[in-house]
């Protein structure tokens, strides 16, 4: 696990991650240093499930896990769980939050709420599922 090789530090006020039509935007109004860690194909390059990015603020003690996806929500959830397990030791004292930004999210009905609750019960991490774009404040 080469976190240094897979990380880029930035103090941009807007940090944007895109893949196809999915977009995650982190608002960094205080311009704090944020590490953008490329997980898929860098930090984890074997066949195991993994999310796309982890955004880390040491000053805010936050780690945000991001999966940009087409329509396979269940696969995205598995990728996030796997990455949480893989990075558990490094970010054990961080406040963690996971995001799935999908191009097609099923209606935010009871089944989606159940998935988010189940995810929280298994990982103790909040899961947010958004359609096409997600904006989060650091």
Q: How do the domains of the chain map onto residue ranges? A: 7-133
pLDDT at 58 over 90: yes
pLDDT band, very low/low/confident/very high, at 119 (cuts 50, 70, 90): very high
- For 65-97, the pLDDT digits (tens) are 999 998 899 999 999 999 999 999 999 999 999
Chain segment 100-114, per-residue pLDDT in tens: 999 876 666 788 899
Pairing between β-strand 95-102 and β-strand 62-69 as defined by DSSP bridges? parallel
Residue 83, CA atoms < 13 Å, CB-side half-sphere: 32
pTM of the model: 0.95
Contact 60, 32 (CB under 8 A): yes
Mean pLDDT score across all residues of the chain: 94
What per-residue confidence (pLDDT) applies to 59?
Answer: 97
Q: Are 88 and 124 in contact (CB under 8 A)?
A: no
C-alpha–C-alpha distance, residues 50 and 84, integer Å: 9
d(CA 102, CA 70): 5
Q: Which residue has the tokens 């995001």?
A: 99
Mean pLDDT of 114-121: 96
H or E element, residue 135: strand 133-137
In the prediction, which pLDDT does 20 show?
85
């Amino acid at each position: 696990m080469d976190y240094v090789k897979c990380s880029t530090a930035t103090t941009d006020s807007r940090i944007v991650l895109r893949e196809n039509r999915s977009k995650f935007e982190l608002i960094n109004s205080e311009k704090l240093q944020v590490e953008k860690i490329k997980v898929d194909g860098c930090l984890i390059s074997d066949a195991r499930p993994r999310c796309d990015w982890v955004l880390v603020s040491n000053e805010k003690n936050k780690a945000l896990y991001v999966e940009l996806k087409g329509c396979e929500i269940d696969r995205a959830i598995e990728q996030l769980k796997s990455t949480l397990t893989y990075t558990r030791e490094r970010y054990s004292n961080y406040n963690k939050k996971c995001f799935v930004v999908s191009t097609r999210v099923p209606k935010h009905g009871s089944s989606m709420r159940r998935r988010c609750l189940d995810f929280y019960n298994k990982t103790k991490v909040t899961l947010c599922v958004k359609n096409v774009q997600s904006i989060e404040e650091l």
